[in-house]
């Protein structure tokens, strides 16, 4: 089951946090709990994505994106992701998560998140996200304008651009 209570807890914890400019890093703390693990008592890869939600959504709230979605009746979706797992996260480990928007193109906003355990990076995720309305994907120009005229994102870094290119080369539909 999706960890709704833990997500609500993160919103409660960060309810008085200062606003974030788009591109600033949101820091959050989480724990790997017994219901998050697989047979080897390590954080399950599927649950990892749900725990990343618990950093990404409060970040979106702090940046004003969730308020803009509500105002405009827009939705938010993940259009692609790439996750690196580099260190095991075991039951009861404390996780420091870092979440930030890093760039955008005309359709997508790219986010990165990382999980840190005892000062070591345990995993990193790159997300391609989209804001949607009844007609499809909302352009990032409209989103950034809704967040404020001073809102900008940096140019697309080379490593993200290479991922976008690789995604474009990937066949669809697969197989």
Joined tokens for residue 170: 């990937």
pTM above 0.85, yes or no: yes
10: Cβ contacts below 8 Å, ≥ 6 apart: 28, 54, 55, 57, 58
pLDDT tens column, 42-83: 999 999 999 999 999 999 999 999 999 999 999 999 999 999
pLDDT tens column, 91-106: 999 999 999 999 999 9
Place of tokens 């946090």: 17
Angle between helices 65-72 and 45-62 (to 10 degrees): 80
Q: Would you say residue 149 has pLDDT above 80? A: no
76: Cβ contacts below 8 Å, ≥ 6 apart: 60, 65, 69, 129, 130, 131, 132
């Amino acid at each position: 089951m999706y960890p709704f209570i833990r997500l609500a807890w993160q919103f409660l914890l960060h309810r008085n946090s200062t606003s974030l400019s788009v591109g600033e890093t949101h820091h959050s703390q989480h724990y790997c709990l017994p219901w998050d693990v697989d047979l080897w008592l390590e954080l399950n890869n599927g649950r990892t994505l749900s725990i990343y939600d618990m950093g990404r959504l409060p970040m979106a709230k702090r940046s004003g994106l969730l308020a803009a979605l509500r105002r405009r009746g827009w939705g938010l979706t993940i259009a692609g992701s790439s996750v690196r797992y580099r260190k095991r996260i075991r039951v009861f480990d404390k996780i420091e998560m870092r979440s930030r928007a890093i760039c955008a193109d005309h359709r997508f906003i790219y986010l990165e998140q990382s999980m840190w355990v005892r000062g070591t990076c345990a995993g990193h995720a790159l997300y391609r996200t989209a804001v949607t309305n009844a007609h499809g994907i909302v352009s990032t120009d409209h989103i950034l304008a809704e967040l404020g005229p001073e809102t900008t994102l940096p140019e697309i870094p080379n490593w993200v651009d290479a991922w976008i290119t690789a995604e474009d080369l990937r066949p669809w539909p697969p197989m």
